[in-house]
Amino acid sequence: MNTQETKGVDMLHKIQNWLMNVAAKWIWFAIMLPIRIVLGLCFAVAKYMPKTVQLPYKVVKREETDKKWWN
């Protein structure tokens, strides 16, 4: 091979290496982002969730009657 062919092959290898690095970065980002989001939410909820939650409402069971909507 002459020097012109060697330069072309070297340039091709540089482009392939660069593309592989960019693709690997985005694939890693796509895999890790959902995992990081889920872990962040879990840690945030664990940190700021109170031990007990008090509801301001009282649950009352209705008495059953024989009334219908047409009566």
Q: Cα–Cα distance between 67 and 27 in angstroms, integer?
A: 64
List the chain pLDDT tens, one digit each, 71 residues. Answer: 556 567 777 888 888 888 888 998 999 999 999 999 999 999 999 998 888 878 788 878 777 777 777 65
Distances (CA, A) of 29 to 26, 37, 42: 5, 12, 20
pLDDT score recorded for residue 64: 73
Domain ranges in the chain?
25-50
Q: Please name the amino acid found at residue 62.
A: R
Q: What is the pTM of this model?
A: 0.49
Neighbouring residues of 9: CB distance < 8 A, sequence distance ≥ 6: 1
The Cβ-side half-sphere exposure at 13, using a 13 Å CA radius, reads 6
Q: What is the DSSP letter of 51?
A: S
Q: Tokens at residue 4, please?
A: 């012109």
pLDDT score recorded for residue 59: 78
